[in-house]
Amino acid sequence: MKDKIKARSVPFSQTRSRHASETAEDYVEAVMELIEEKGECRVLDLARYFNVSHVTVSRIVKRLYEEELLYTQPYKPVELTPKGNSLAKKVKERHAIVLDFLLELGVDKANAYIDSEGIEHHVGPSTLNAMKRFLKKR
């Protein structure tokens, strides 16, 4: 007979598409921040932001354009569509909460910044609420 393998409750939901979503979140968040900081967001701004080549950015921007998260035209700045704007707001909020949470937990600034970048994508609504409750109690 063969033992059933404890299948994951849910996770490991196709690594590739999960990563693609994370990229989308990172990009809309970056676009929003860059526009706030300097008025517009160019491909090269994103390349410097993420420390990748402009080619990589260009391809990803094209994909997110097709997903209607970003709007852009050749040689023009990158902008957020309404859909992208709403996602960006959500992501920025979540990111800020995770960062505050780590700081309040006692993590030093440098590490809190770094870890919050990675962690934010994996914080579901339930965990996010728990973090909010924790922050309120202080």
Partner DNA sequence: TGGCAAATGTAGCAATGGCTACGGATAGTG
Partner DNA sequence: CACTATCCGTAGCCATTGCTACATTTGCCA
- Taking the C-alpha atoms of residue 12 and residue 9, their distance in angstroms, rounded to an integer, is 9
- Residue 5's Cβ-count burial label (10 Å; 0-12, 13-18, 19+) is exposed
Structure tokens at 35: 């526009």
In the region spanning residues 34 to 63, those forming contacts with a copy of itself, defined by CB under 8 A, are: 34, 37-38, 45, 48-52
Encoded one letter per residue, x for contact with a copy of itself by CB under 8 A and - for no contact, window 67-106 reads: -----------------------------------x--xx
Span from 10-18, 62-70, 71-79, 83-91 in contact with a copy of itself (CB under 8 A): 10-18
- Residue 134's Cβ-count burial label (10 Å; 0-12, 13-18, 19+) is middle
Angle at 82 between CA 77 and CA 83, to 5 degrees: 105
81 is a contact residue toward DNA (CB under 7 A):
no
In the region spanning residues 38 to 77, those forming contacts with DNA, defined by CB under 7 A, are: 42-45, 50-56, 58-63, 72, 74-75, 77
Cβ-based nearer residue to DNA, 20 or 135: 20
* Cβ atoms 78, 41 nearer than 8 A: yes
* Cβ atoms 67, 87 nearer than 8 A: no
Residues that bind a copy of itself (CB under 8 A): 3, 5-15, 19, 23, 26, 34, 37-38, 45, 48-52, 102, 105-108, 110-115, 117-119, 121-124, 126-127, 130-131, 133-134
